Amino acid sequence: MSYLTQNLDVVLPRRPSDAWSQMSNPMSIDPQRQTPLLQTIGLTKRYGTFLATDSIDIDIWPREIHALLGENGAGKSTLVKKIYGLIQPSEGEMRWQGKPMTLAGPSEARALGIGMVSQHFSLFDNLTVAENVALGLDGKEPFKDMSARLEEVANVYGLPLDPKREVWRLSVGERQRIEIVRALMQDPKFLILDEPTAVLTPQEADQLFIVLERLKAEGRAILYISHKLEEVKRLCDTATILRGGKRISICVPRNETAASLARMMVGADVKEVKAAAGRRTTVPRLVVNDLNMELDDPHGVRLEHISLELKGGEILGIAGVAGNGQNELFSALSGERLAKDPGMIVIDGHEAGHLSITSRRKLGAAFVPEERLGHGTVPRMKLSENALLTGHAASGMVQHGFVNMAAMLATVDRATEIFDVRKAKRDPEAASLSGGNLQKFIVGREILRNPTVLVVSQPTWGVDAGAAAVIRQALLDLAASGAAVLVTSQDLDELTEITDRIAVMFHGHLSEPLATSDASREKLGLLMGGSTLPQMEANDAVGA
Amino acid sequence: MLLVLEKRAEQSNTVALASPLIAICLTIVTMSILFAILDKNPISALGVYFIDPLTDGYSLQEIAVKAAPLVMIGIGLSLCYLANVWNIGAEGQLLAGAVAGSWLAVKTQGTDAGAWVLPTMLLMGAVAGALYALIPALCKVRFGASEILTSLMLVYVADLFLDYLVRGPWRDPAGFNFPTTAKFDPVATVPALIEGGRLHLGVVIALIVVAGAAVLLGRTIKGFEIRVVGAASRAARFGGFKSNRVILLTFAISGALAGLAGIIEVAGPVGHLQPGISPGYGFTAIIVAFLGRLNPMGILIAGLFLALTFIGGEQAQIAMKIPLDVTKVLQGLLLFYVLACDSLILYRFRLISPSPKAHHGVV
């Protein structure tokens, strides 16, 4: 092993290209596979009496893509944070190449050869790619050399990047590339990727998998955190499944089905959502006519010529990579920002472009934003007060300016009952609920108002599978009762499961909707990447 | 061993109640040390500060009279602070109200004006205070200027303007050149509640303000709007609440209450307009607001407590030759400790051992 260690510890010399070729050689001779690259033994993290992870053993071998599967709150991120030195374990041991390892911080992890690409990028929008990379390196190398090396590493791995471009000009996929290249420039032996495909189009994800396969062939180990089971089956050699902080099983994902993996993650069969038979579409309930909206912050997205028509009984999905104008569209539809012309947005036959969010609610619209805490709810207020937050517009909660506490509590109780919101007491603070339960409450709060139009953004983002099924079923049931439902999501599986039609947002434009039955991943992926589909151009020609 | 602050899942109500009490205890401990350093017996000094004023009727009335402006202003400030805007200039709004109300008293001096004078003065005081507070609020809403700086700086403008008036145009011709207006007519004076007593109408108004604020914050959609804007501005916008409107409203209310407190002070205990009509009520009310946990009932209690320190401070100066500035030190320490203890509402202390054992535990 010492032979391997020495060679891997070579810091890149002046001629990087040599280093890259040298690097793969000793690795390919290796391994007896006697000692894992990284080993955790009984790793435990305790917060008060709560066990975030409970004696977890994992062995990570070189030349392995190891999946870490689990629902939200299963302990995935707690485990990864310990391995990357961000938090200290309460009990247990970590071994690196057979030797005990303690990490005082991420820089020590990086020095050993552990790299991490997190789900949330830590990039400065106003700096260039090279400047951002320089900030993340421990940096004794002159900036110019670093820039050159950056370009070289990027090209070697087929992750082209222009070091001089400012980050705000880049797409989300390109931003993720920066994070990956930044990690690779430290020549890690072990790379942790946290939900890397969450922000990618299917095609971009395919490209990423090629890179990961290559890193694996070079002898590196990868810990791949995901809840996309098909991906894991395709890519990963081993999977460790966590549930409630415990390791539930280790398996070879190729030998499992998506359903069996899901069962291990959730601990029960996941209920399938069912669309009501014979849902009929009725009158147009939400119409957007050539909506244009200027930027309100310099890094936002301008909405251009957005038109859609959504009938009662129908669910329309909006797909797209994050940051292509979905948030701006939500603000425009909800009335958090007003449209230039009243006719640009029509809710249930009333021109509403100039109306406030409260007036739009009075017309029968309801909204569920992407951020649960701080946008959809006030984190440190009780659920009853959060019911009032959107309920004050049109319900019995306010009479002559006075609030009716009984009506607020009744809404909490009904949402709790119908949507199975689990909480410690009758009326706790919003922040004390788990993500899934809070989302069920938010969706429930809006559905209990019997809206005729529901605009919902990322309905099941970061929500456990059980809660996601409840929420999706609620959306289907609402549409079945005659409401129009607009769902924005980055999860194509979710959109395919519940929508009737899917449109794609790209750079502030909205594509023509496709019938969901006709919307293959390939077609959607192309639209998400900014291409136009041939037959749609043909349609346009007919229309013109 | 390592002492860490750990976030609580939910705010602790017990600590929310205990925090001001812990702060008071810590202040008393620190003050004892300070008295000892000043070569005064801490026990008797604390007795003079906190016990003696409670033992005679005159002092008790005086505490209520001093608490009235503190409570009124503190209530107004608490609305601003709940909305997450920082009105530091209540002292200036108090002076603006005092000046505006006094104008009518000076103009009707010696005329046979009727009983309408005092109510009109109170109204003018409140309106002037509100308008004066709207200056920083508008600057913030319109230009994004920091309301902390602008409201504070306007205190000195008001202070010097008052100074100019009583030394110049409004000076009492029969006042031996003292910088003061003539004594207000009886119709321009706040009546005492009991003949010969110190309690006056202002005390009643303060109690009404407390009750009104409790209803506003606890029962009305307006109060909810104020709290939501302060707690999460994005959620407020999502709820359909306009934060700019709330900023203007809370500044106007707190300015009005400070202005009202100012004119009551001038037309009541002082009886004429002069420099130094307020011993820093506008600033002390900031402490009152926080010590009272931004809660109307809490503010009532905190106002009484700080009034006690004012009275106790005066008595300590007389009885033990303790400088009056020590009272300000006490009040400052109190604010410091209150804010420090407040972090315990959302966080708790925990001892953790970073011993190497942790890494070699269960295998």
Helix H or strand E segment including A152:
helix A143-156
pLDDT in tens, A5-33: 333 333 333 333 444 444 444 444 444 55
| Interchain pair B359, A385: CB under 8 A | no
For A115, the 3-state DSSP assignment is strand
Q: A488: closest CA among A506, A503, A508?
A: A503
Task: Take residue A530 and report the two structure tokens written for it.
Answer: 């900014």
For A369, the 3-state DSSP assignment is coil
**C-alpha distances in angstroms, A234 versus A191, A195, A240, A252?**
18, 15, 15, 11
Phi/psi of residue A243, nearest 5 degrees = -150, 130
Q: Does B195 touch chain A (CB under 8 A)?
A: no
What is residue B251's predicted lDDT score, i.e. its pLDDT?
Answer: 98
Q: Does B4 touch chain A (CB under 8 A)?
A: no
Name the E strands within A407-528.
Answer: 453-457, 484-488, 501-506, 509-510, 514-515
Q: ipTM of this predicted complex? A: 0.84
Q: Distance, in angstroms, between A403 CA and closest chain B CA?
A: 5
| Interchain pair A402, B235: CB under 8 A | no
Q: List the single residue in B219, B228, B239 with the smallest CB-CB distance to A402.
A: B219
Task: Take residue A498 and report the two structure tokens written for it.
Answer: 């519940």
Q: List CB contacts (< 8 A) between A355 and chain B.
A: none
Phi/psi of residue A193, nearest 5 degrees = -120, 120
Q: Does A357 touch chain B (CB under 8 A)?
A: yes
Q: Does B358 touch chain A (CB under 8 A)?
A: yes
Asked if A488 contacts A369 with a C-beta cutoff of 8 angstroms, the reply is: no
Q: Distance, in angstroms, between B43 CA and closest chain A CA?
A: 41
Q: List the single residue in B221, B238, B356 with the smallest CB-CB distance to A376.
A: B238
| Interchain pair A91, B9: CB under 8 A | no
Strand partners, A308: A288
Best probe of the B interface among A389, A405, A438, by most B CBs < 10 A, is: A389
pLDDT in tens, A225-237: 987 888 899 999 9
Q: Does A396 touch chain B (CB under 8 A)?
A: no
Instruction: Give the whole-angstrom CA distance, residue A183 versus residue A186.
Output: 6
Task: Take residue B4 and report the two structure tokens written for it.
Answer: 């860490």
Query: Between A and B, how many CB-CB pairs are < 8 A?
Result: 102
What is residue A20's predicted lDDT score, i.e. its pLDDT?
Answer: 43
pLDDT band at A534, cuts 50/70/90? low
Average pLDDT over residues A347-364: 94
Asked if A116 contacts A84 with a C-beta cutoff of 8 angstroms, the reply is: yes
Full DSSP string of B270-333: I-S--TT-SSSHHHHHHHHHHHTTT-HHHHHHHHHHHHHHHHHHHHHHHHH---THHHHHHHHH
User: What residue in A sits closest to B220 (Cα-Cα)?
Assistant: A402
For A377, the 3-state DSSP assignment is strand
Cα angle A169, A174, A178; round to 5? 105
Number of other CB atoms surrounding residue B337 within 10 Å = 21
Number of other CB atoms surrounding residue A197 within 10 Å = 21
In this structure, which amino acid lies at residue A119?
Q
CATH entry, A8-266, from 1.20.1050.10, 3.40.50.1980, 3.40.50.620, 3.40.50.300: 3.40.50.300
Q: Does A354 touch chain B (CB under 8 A)?
A: no
| B352/A328: higher pLDDT | A328
Helix H or strand E segment including A142:
none
Q: Does A401 touch chain B (CB under 8 A)?
A: yes
Q: Does A404 touch chain B (CB under 8 A)?
A: no
| Interchain pair A380, B228: CB under 8 A | no
What is residue A389's predicted lDDT score, i.e. its pLDDT?
Answer: 95
Paired sense of beta strands A315-319 and A484-488, if any:
parallel
* Cα B30 from chain centroid (whole Å): 23
Q: Which residues of chain B have pLDDT under 70?
A: 1, 9-10, 352-363
Say yes or no to pLDDT of A454 above 80: yes
Q: Could you write out the three-class secondary structure of B92-145?
A: HHHHHHHHHHHHHHHHCCCCCCCCCHHHHHHHHHHHHHHHHHHHHHHHHHHHCC
Instruction: Give the whole-angstrom CA distance, residue B146 versus residue B141.
Output: 10
pLDDT in tens, A35-45: 889 999 998 98
Angle between helices A202-217 and A172-184 (to 10 degrees): 10
Query: Which residue's structure tokens are 């602790």?
Result: B12
Q: Distance, in angstroms, between B145 CA and closest chain A CA?
A: 19
User: What residue in B sits closest to A40 (Cα-Cα)?
Assistant: B363
Q: A188: closest CA among A101, A123, A81, A112?
A: A112
- Comparing A156-165, A214-223, A374-383, B153-162, the range with the smallest average pLDDT is A156-165
| Beta strands across the sheet bearing A99-101 | A50-60, A38-47, A91-96, A99-101
Q: List CB contacts (< 8 A) between A432 and chain B.
A: 9-10
The rounded mean pLDDT for chain A is 85
pLDDT band at A364, cuts 50/70/90? very high
Task: Take residue B262 and report the two structure tokens written for it.
Answer: 């100012």
- Which A residues, 116 through 155, put their C-beta within 8 Å of a C-beta on chain B? none
Say yes or no to pLDDT of A496 above 80: yes
User: What residue in A sits closest to B235 (Cα-Cα)?
Assistant: A375
pLDDT band at A285, cuts 50/70/90? very high
Q: List the single residue in A47, A376, A388 with the smallest CB-CB distance to B224.
A: A388
Strand partners, A311: A284
The residues near A458 (Cβ < 8 Å, ≥ 6 apart) are A370, A488, A489, A490
Largest interatomic CA distance in chain B: 95
User: What residue in B sits closest to A375 (Cα-Cα)?
Assistant: B235
Name the E strands within A294-424.
Answer: 303-311, 315-319, 345-347, 350-351, 365-368, 398-399, 402-403
Q: List CB contacts (< 8 A) between B227 and chain A.
A: 381
Instruction: Give the whole-angstrom CA distance, residue A359 versus residue A334.
Output: 10
User: What residue in A sits closest to B10 (Cα-Cα)?
Assistant: A432
In CATH, what class is A284-374+452-543? alpha beta
Instruction: Give the whole-angstrom CA distance, residue B358 versus residue A104.
Output: 13
Q: Does B37 touch chain A (CB under 8 A)?
A: no
Q: Distance, in angstroms, between A131 CA and closest chain B CA?
A: 31
- Which A residues, 39 through 78, put their C-beta within 8 Å of a C-beta on chain B? 41-42, 44, 47-48, 55
Asked if A423 contacts A432 with a C-beta cutoff of 8 angstroms, the reply is: yes
Asked if A228 contacts A265 with a C-beta cutoff of 8 angstroms, the reply is: no
Q: B232: closest CA among A430, A234, A140?
A: A430
Q: Does B360 touch chain A (CB under 8 A)?
A: yes
Instruction: Give the whole-angstrom CA distance, residue A494 versus residue A370.
Output: 15
Task: Take residue B223 and report the two structure tokens written for it.
Answer: 């109060």
* CA torsion through residues A371, A376, A381, A383, sign: negative
pLDDT in tens, A418-449: 998 888 889 999 988 888 889 999 999 999 99
Phi/psi of residue B138, nearest 5 degrees = -65, -40
* Cα A499 from chain centroid (whole Å): 19
Q: List CB contacts (< 8 A) between A102 and chain B.
A: 356, 359
- Which A residues, 442 through 461, put their C-beta within 8 Å of a C-beta on chain B? none
Q: Distance, in angstroms, between B12 CA and closest chain A CA?
A: 11
Q: List CB contacts (< 8 A) between A91 and chain B.
A: 358, 361-362
- Which A residues, 289 through 348, put their C-beta within 8 Å of a C-beta on chain B? 334-336
- Torsion (CA) A52, A58, A60, A61 in degrees, nearest 10: 180
Q: List CB contacts (< 8 A) between B238 and chain A.
A: 334, 336, 357, 367, 369, 375-376, 389-390
Instruction: Give the whole-angstrom CA distance, residue A454 versus residue A479.
Output: 9
Q: List the single residue in A102, A356, A402 with the smallest CB-CB distance to B220.
A: A402
Q: What is the DSSP letter of A48?
A: T
Q: Does A377 touch chain B (CB under 8 A)?
A: yes
What is residue A11's predicted lDDT score, i.e. its pLDDT?
Answer: 36
What is residue B1's predicted lDDT score, i.e. its pLDDT?
Answer: 64
Paired sense of beta strands A402-403 and A484-488, if any:
unpaired
Give this prediction's pTM. 0.80
The residues near A135 (Cβ < 8 Å, ≥ 6 apart) are A124, A127
* Cα B270 from chain centroid (whole Å): 19
What are the residue ranges spanned by the domains of chain B?
Answer: 68-292
| Beta strands across the sheet bearing A345-347 | A303-311, A284-293, A345-347, A350-351
| Interchain pair A392, B224: CB under 8 A | yes
Q: Distance, in angstroms, between B233 CA and closest chain A CA?
A: 8
pLDDT in tens, B242-283: 999 999 999 999 999 999 999 999 998 888 999 989 989 999
Number of other CB atoms surrounding residue A249 within 10 Å = 14
Task: Decide whether A8-266 matches A284-374+452-543 in CATH topology.
Answer: yes
Q: List the single residue in A92, A334, A401 with the smallest CB-CB distance to B362.
A: A92
Say yes or no to pLDDT of A536 above 70: no
Task: Take residue A186 and report the two structure tokens written for it.
Answer: 């430290």
| Interchain pair B361, A102: CB under 8 A | no
In this structure, which amino acid lies at residue B172?
D
Number of H helices, E strands in chain A: 19, 23
Instruction: Give the whole-angstrom CA distance, residue A193 versus residue A221.
Output: 11
